[in-house]
A = this chain, B = another copy of it.
Amino acid sequence: MTRLDVTEKIIATKVSKGLRWADVAKKVGQSKEWTTALCLGQMTATAAQAKVLGKIFGLTAEEQKWLMVVPSKGSLPTAVPTDPLIYRFYELVSVYGSTFKALIHEEFGDGIMSAIDFKMDLQREPDPHGDRVNIVMSGKFLPYKAF
């Protein structure tokens, strides 16, 4: 058994039971963004969280233990994503990546925006010209320092 097996079981159960990530998240007591990433094999659960998920998805004790093991992260099968929704995010990095770099350095100096001390919030923004996806990302700035 591997974490991948647990992930696949979670996804299959979600389809057959018709669950929603937002509802799962409420029971877990975390945001829908972090909880979905956890269920998709990218984050690590506490014992309490694993128990809740075990109940929702019918996981055995051993499967719950796998949720508490730090997983091998990276959720895409190819270096350049083929799925159109995910590709658009890759395209944003390709087109605006140098802009991100220029503006963050202008504001903060040399360093990076952390992808670890990071959180995000994804919302529907109603708009008469067609609703919009609204994503707020917040990552700690980590400066390079001379040593």
Contact = CB atoms under 8 A, between A and B. Distances in A.
Nearest to A113: B133
A49 B146 CA distance: 11
Interface string A103-116: 11111111111111
B16 A8 contact: no
A133 B143 CA distance: 12
Given A21-B106, A93-B76, A138 B143 contact: no
A95 B73 contact: yes
Interface centre among A80, A89, A90 (most CB of B within 10 A): A89
Given A40-B99, A82-B73, A122-B100, A144 B116 contact: yes
B85 A100 contact: yes
Contact of A84 (B38, B116, B132): B116
Contacts of A89: 92-93, 97, 100, 113, 115
A53 to B, nearest CB: 13
Given A132-B141, A141-B130, A114 B88 contact: yes
A-B CB proximity, top 6 nearest: A74-B82, A119-B147, A75-B98, A113-B133, A44-B110, A70-B105
